[in-house]
Chains A and B, each alone.
Chain A
Amino acid sequence: MDLQKMMNLPGALAAFTYSDKGDLQSHVLREGTELTPQVLDLLARSCVANLAIAGMEARGWEAVTGQSGFQPLKGFSVVGLEWSVVVDGNCGVVVKNRDADYEATFNALQAG
Chain B
Amino acid sequence: MRIVKQLMAIPGVIAAGEYAYRGDRFSYEGALTDEFARMASIVCRANTLSVNMQSEIFDSFSENCGCRPVQGWIVRGNQITICAVGNYFAFIENRDELLNDVMTIMRAKVGDVQDDLLVNLYARLGGDTKEALY
Contact = CB atoms under 8 A, between A and B. Distances in A.
Contact of B58 (A43, A58, A74): A43
B70 interface: yes
Contacts of A101: 100
Contacts of B103: 79, 100, 102
11 contacts: A34-B66, A35-B62, A39-B58, A39-B62, A57-B43, A58-B77, A73-B76, A74-B77, A80-B66, A101-B100, A102-B99
B69 interface: yes
B62 A81 contact: no
A31 B65 CA distance: 14
B112 A81 contact: yes
B99 to A, nearest CB: 5
Contacts of A26: none
A50 B76 CA distance: 12
Nearest to B85: A79
A39 B74 CA distance: 20
B97 A82 contact: no
Interface of B: 36, 39, 43, 47, 50-51, 54-55, 57-58, 61-62, 64-80, 85, 94, 96-97, 99-100, 103, 107, 112
Interface of A: 34-36, 38-39, 42-43, 46, 50, 53-54, 57-58, 61, 64-65, 67-83, 86, 88, 97, 100-103, 106
SS of A interface (majority)? mixed
Given A39-B65, A74-B76, 16 more contacts: A34-B62, A35-B62, A42-B61, A46-B54, A57-B47, A70-B77, A70-B78, A70-B79, A71-B77, A73-B76, A75-B74, A79-B70, A83-B66, A101-B100, A102-B99, A103-B99
Given A38-B61, A43-B58, A73 B78 contact: yes
Given A35-B65, A102-B103, A79 B36 contact: no
